[in-house]
Amino acid sequence: MDWPTIFSIANLFALLAWVALIFGPRREIVFTVLREGVVGLLSLFYAALLIYLMVFAPAPGGAGPDFSTIEGVRTIFATDAGLTLGWVHYLAFDLFVGLWVARNADAISLSRIVQAPILLATFLFGPMGLCIYLIVRRIHGMPKTA
């Protein structure tokens, strides 16, 4: 497989979704398309890629990926296929978290200007962006249902 091309396509797909999330309208249809469309497709692609790597293209020696040891994970990520697998995992989960942040921030009336750098941090740095949002949310004040 052409892993660099697959990696780039997944990256572009997620990037376009992030642009829509940060700059686009906050309508239910947008959230649905991003969540069930983009996150759903990235998740499906991740699952298909994982099955492919475990069943149809196992590592030399016949064993599938070993996620139970640091050496096993290092071996997985040392390949273009494993790196693409891991990156698609990050893309799907970070976008899902970004969707939650955006929806929750809208619910507490947090300005989109404040949201934008938080969402950008979530896109680029995953958990760090989420941590920033949780701190900002606590300072800004949360509704009792959030």
pLDDT in tens, 48-100: 998 888 887 766 665 666 778 898 888 888 889 889 999 999 999 999 999 99
Q: Average the pLDDT over 96-116 and give the result.
A: 96
Averaged pLDDT score across all residues of the chain: 90
Q: Which residues contact 131 (CB under 8 A, 6 or more apart)?
A: none
Angle at 4 between CA 83 and CA 81, to 5 degrees: 35
pLDDT of 131 > 70? The answer is yes
Which structure tokens are listed for 91?
Answer: 């893309």
